[in-house]
Amino acid sequence: MKRKVTKAVFPVAGLGTRFLPATKSIPKEIMTLVDRPLIQYAIDEARAAGIKEFIFVTSRGKGALEDYFDHAPELENSLRKKGKTELLATLKSTNMDSGAIAYIRQHKALGLGHAVWCARRLIGNEPFAVILPDDVIAAEKPCLQQMVEAYKETGGCMVAAMEVPPEKASAYGVLDVKEDMGSMVSVRGMVEKPSVESAPSNLAVIGRYILTPQVLKNLNQIKQGAGGEIQLTDAIAQEIEADRDVYGYRFRGQRFDCGSKAGYLQATVAFGLARDELRDELASYLDEMKASRKAAQ
């Protein structure tokens, strides 16, 4: 019987150097899209998928993340007194059950695979999800929920997948497809950050995974891979070599690469336009900008 996926790992140890100087004093996961930190989007998605235990792999300087997930009794009281019920509800919706979150430190930046491996004792012997909060996915049905539903049919390991322009494939883990079944593909191989010439396809791994505990065991022995880092992709690829199933799942939704400035700004606009209270003002500003750019050309 396939076990339910109730644990998720959030690797949040990265330095976020692309967003310096902001990330000098705030973790990049606290940066906001409209008014919610990136990490909140990841948590909401995990909750929708039935995740009950949230494991953060952090590093030095990430204290603001722990504070963010703490309750805020003074703030709640003050909102209550002032009758600001809507804000109070928003605030409370971010509260986490006691004991639902665990923080573990990755002491050295040795790569994504190593970060996930750091959580091995908390995961134990059950399937688990991994969410990379940099990859924000806007979708009617949250991406991880789509994957959990698909996983109920398949078992094995599953990675979110998306076609990218071929010249961009070398920024990703890339799938070598065995059989294409539409929303699902079975995978013959996986390569982390291949050169443009050697990429087996342009189907890229996006930061959502459902993994078997065997992947953690594989990580015990994985050597440094692309970029000199311990790669999660390599540990998943070992599953294929051992003749166990790995699937790519083409999710429905729009993915924003919030690890890049351009992607982060695009996400800000998209999430702003998705808000009833902001849409009109923001859309007319964008129209004005477009018109004035045209006039200047």
CA angle at residue 128 from 244 to 150, to 5 degrees?
A: 65
Provide the mask over 122-161, with x wherever binding to ligand G1P is found by CB under 6 A and - wherever it is not. ----------x--x--------------------------
Interface residue with ligand G1P among 16, 37, 127, 173 (CB under 6 A) is 173
3-state class (DSSP) for residue 231: coil
CA atoms of 186 and 191, how far apart (whole Å)? 15
Interface residue with ligand G1P among 38, 157, 205, 216 (CB under 6 A) is 205
Is there binding between residue 112 and ligand G1P (CB under 6 A)? yes
**Piece of the chain touching ligand G1P by CB under 6 A; list 2-10, 81-89, 205-213, 282-290:** 205-213
Is there binding between residue 29 and ligand G1P (CB under 6 A)? no
Q: Strands 53-58 and 184-192: what pairing?
A: unpaired
Let me know: does 213 contact 125? Beta carbons within 8 Å: yes
Q: What is the chain's Cα-based Rg?
A: 20
CB of 117 to ligand G1P, least distance (A): 14
CB of 145 to ligand G1P, least distance (A): 19
CA atoms of 268 and 240, how far apart (whole Å)? 38
**Closer by beta carbon to ligand G1P, 79 or else 255:** 255
Is there binding between residue 172 and ligand G1P (CB under 6 A)? yes
CA 82 remoteness from chain centre: 36
**Closer by beta carbon to ligand G1P, 30 or else 230:** 230
**Closer by beta carbon to ligand G1P, 23 or else 233:** 233
CB of 174 to ligand G1P, least distance (A): 8
CA atoms of 238 and 242, how far apart (whole Å)? 6
CA atoms of 206 and 39, how far apart (whole Å)? 16
CA atoms of 145 and 252, how far apart (whole Å)? 11
Report the sign of the C-alpha dihedral through residues 137, 141, 146, 152, in that order: positive
Interface residue with ligand G1P among 192, 201, 212, 219 (CB under 6 A) is 192
Q: Which residues contact 266 (CB under 8 A, 6 or more apart)?
A: 256
CB of 259 to ligand G1P, least distance (A): 6
Q: Strands 36-37 and 32-33: what pairing?
A: antiparallel
Is there binding between residue 45 and ligand G1P (CB under 6 A)? no
CB of 264 to ligand G1P, least distance (A): 13
Let me know: does 123 contact 53? Beta carbons within 8 Å: no
**Piece of the chain touching ligand G1P by CB under 6 A; list 37-45, 51-59, 202-210, 213-221:** 202-210
Interface positions, 213-252, toward ligand G1P (CB under 6 A): 232-233
Residue ranges binding ligand G1P (CB under 6 A)? 112, 132, 135, 172-173, 192, 204-207, 232-233, 259
